[in-house]
A = this chain, B = another copy of it.
Amino acid sequence: MPTVVVGYVPKPEGDAALDKAIEEARLRGADLVVVHSHRERGHEAEPDLADVRARLEQAGVEFDIRQLVRGFEAAEDLVSVAESSDADLIVIGLRRRTPVGKLILGSNAQRVLLDAHCPVLAVKA
């Protein structure tokens, strides 16, 4: 079964990535693994992923949500889940602009693009 892995954050770029990942999973008849990483428990509130679950259920794709609370960077978690799932595709969201309006590619996005063992699809919010 092909597998699509998506890095989810509760932000516009995370929503754009999730929508695109659902579309790609349907196109490929693939399972979808949604990865959400926190740096530390408690430091940041654990988001309510009920909305995400509802979107996935409505989309009719087979899915798995993994909330990772570890000391690693989000990019490392995503690449490692993709590798262990033998993923065919990773989907990531890019911020269109920094708060000061400058366009830059974040370090997490760069690491996923460079370290991934499979193609990476980058979408903007």
Contacts and interface: CB of A to CB of B under 8 A. Distances in A.
Contact of A94 (B28, B105, B113, B124): B113
B105 A110 contact: yes
Nearest to A110: B105
B27 A119 contact: no
Chain A interface size band reads 10 to 19
A20 interface: yes
Nearest to A91: B119
Contacts of A105: 105, 110, 113-114
B119 A113 contact: no
A123 interface: yes
A-B pairs, 6 with minimum CB distance: A119-B123, A103-B114, A121-B121, A120-B122, A105-B110, A113-B122
